Amino acid sequence: MSLTQSLLAIVALIAASAFFAVAEISLAASRRLRLRQMADEGDSRAERVLKIQEQPGQYFTVVQIGLNAITIMGGIVGEGALSPTFKDLYNGWMSPERAETAGFVTSFLIVTSLFIVFSDLFPKRLSMAEPEKLAVRVARPMLWCMAVFKPVVWIYSRATDGLFRLLGLSAQRDDRVTSDDILALAEAGAQAGVLARREQQVITNVFELDTRTVGSAMTPRDRIAWFNQDDADTIIRLRIAAEPFSTYPVCDGDLDHLIGYVDAKDLFQRVLNNQPISLTDPALLHKAVVVPDRLTLAEVLAHFREVREDFAVIVSEYSTVVGVVTLNDVMSTVMGDLVTTQDEELIVKRDEHSWLIDGATPVQDVQRALGIDEMPFEGEYETLAGFLMVMLRRVPRRTDRVDWGGHRFEVLDVDSYRVDQVLVSRLDAPGSAMDTAAAGNAFRPR
């Protein structure tokens, strides 16, 4: 074989090896969601790739047969084609033995480098960049190769299947899309600039609806504005003006003896029309939806949809009213600061190293704001105030503080045993003694 023929053979082998490399990586990297979208748009080639992904064993067997065979042939052709040429080149200024060795080494390095760059690195990077486009293009030629090598593929496939069964492994590709997959895609989209950080946070909040209990979004008992059933018209008007809400529970004597609720818009109509307000009027009083405090926000949303209401009273296992929740409260949890005004924010960032946080803030929001992965005694509390109570083993008082996860939580204000404001500050810079102790999950109540 002449030098020209050998070079042409090497080029052909490199092209064939690049084809198999593209076929391998493009199929593995292709996203089923994207392929399904292409198939729905009328691309029959995408449907073909989807079918191959369901049973990729024979496909990858052909790829490996092709790659290994071409690698061996490339070494044989390259060594035989280029070694004599370089040997003759080196004969002029070194001994024949050294010239033969140097010619072989030079030929080996050149052929290997050509294969690495043009049949491995370049096609694989290209396949990672455009996997779906390349996968649909190489699918049909690969099906032809699978038909040609079917007997050999059958032998290798049976041997591989036997190994999977022997090891108790599944050869089926798991294409189930989990919430973690979606959250990872949203995070990647935010990093790439496709999604705004706030939009990515909304997606995260939606998936947290299944884990957050209703207590993380409710208005707690001590903040509920309610009416007594026999309240006079004047008292009702004054309370509406002092505490404007969309809904007011109506009770008989105290909050635990709930009768129903009244809608603010109905009260406003009475006020605007100069009509008297009586909470015994059946036209004003509505039956209240009562839900247990252990429901998740997703379950509360389902309950709202089932009963066609947007207001519910939350009770504990002892039948004590602990709070109220509205559809707007749940949606505010999902939308976050997209709909929350600055005055209503539970977490206010003062600077790069400190935050002012309301004690009623859900602990998940605190972790996200501070970048803390784990909290101690998880499941025993839902709010920042609950975290402080568990850590201190008593009701927090002003100036109490807890160090955890590289942060100091210091109580600034307590109102009737309720933790109003907590100042959270980063401890010393990484590497200091205090930070090392805090990172070791030490807490020091004072």
Per-residue DSSP letters for 120-186? IIHHHHHHHHSHHHHHHHHHHHHHHHHHHTHHHHHHHHHHHHHHHHHHT---S---PPPHHHHHHHH
Please state the φ and ψ torsions of residue 73, each to the nearest 5 degrees.
-65, -40
The answer to whether the beta carbons of residues 443 and 376 sit under 8 Å apart is yes
The answer to whether the beta carbons of residues 226 and 250 sit under 8 Å apart is yes
Going residue by residue through the chain, which has 446 residues, state the pLDDT in tens, using 9 for 90 and above: 566 777 788 888 888 888 888 888 888 888 888 888 888 888 888 888 888 888 787 888 888 888 888 878 877 776 666 777 777 777 777 787 888 888 778 877 887 888 888 888 888 888 888 888 888 888 888 888 888 888 887 888 788 778 888 888 766 656 666 777 777 777 777 777 777 777 777 788 788 788 888 887 888 888 889 999 888 888 888 888 888 888 899 999 889 899 999 988 888 888 888 888 888 888 888 888 899 988 888 899 898 889 888 889 999 888 899 999 988 888 888 876 655 554 457 788 888 888 899 888 888 888 888 888 888 887 788 888 889 999 999 989 888 999 988 899 999 988 878 888 899 998 863 443 344 333 334 444 44
Strand ranges (E), 207-327: 219-220, 227-228, 247-252, 254-263, 289-292, 311-315, 321-326
Nearest residue to 418 via CA among 245, 220, 213: 220
**Alpha carbon of residue 133 to chain centroid:** 26
E strand or H helix at 187, and its extent?
A: helix 179-192
Nearest residue to 221 via CA among 320, 357, 333, 347: 320
pLDDT of residue 434: 43
- The domain limits of the chain are 3-167, 179-208, 214-335, 346-439
What b-and-e string marks burial along 120-140, b requiring 16 or more CB atoms within 10 Å of the CB?
beebbebbeeebbebbbebbe
Domain 214-335 matches domain 346-439 at the CATH topology level: no
Kindly compute the dihedral angle of the four CA atoms of residues 230, 233, 239, 241, in this order, to the nearest 10 degrees: 160
Q: What CATH topology corresponds to 346-439?
A: 3.30.465
Q: How far apart are CA 442 and CA 379, in angstroms?
A: 19
Q: Residue 266 class from Cβ within 10 Å (0-12 exposed, 13-18 middle, 19+ buried)?
A: middle
E strand or H helix at 350, and its extent?
A: strand 347-351
Q: Give me the residue label for tokens 């039948």.
A: 319
Give, in degrees to the nearest 5, the angle at Cα 63 between 59 and 64: 120
If phi over 0 gives left and psi between -120 and 50 gives alpha, with beta otherwise, what is residue 168?
left
Q: How far apart are CA 265 and CA 271, in angstroms?
A: 10
pLDDT of residue 313: 92
The answer to whether the beta carbons of residues 444 and 431 sit under 8 Å apart is no
pLDDT of residue 85: 74
Domain 214-335 has CATH 3.10.580.10: yes
Nearest residue to 372 via CA among 298, 304, 313, 427: 427
pTM: 0.53
pLDDT of residue 222: 83
Number of alpha carbons in the 13 Å side-chain half-sphere of residue 82: 21
Q: How far apart are CA 140 and CA 149, in angstroms?
A: 14
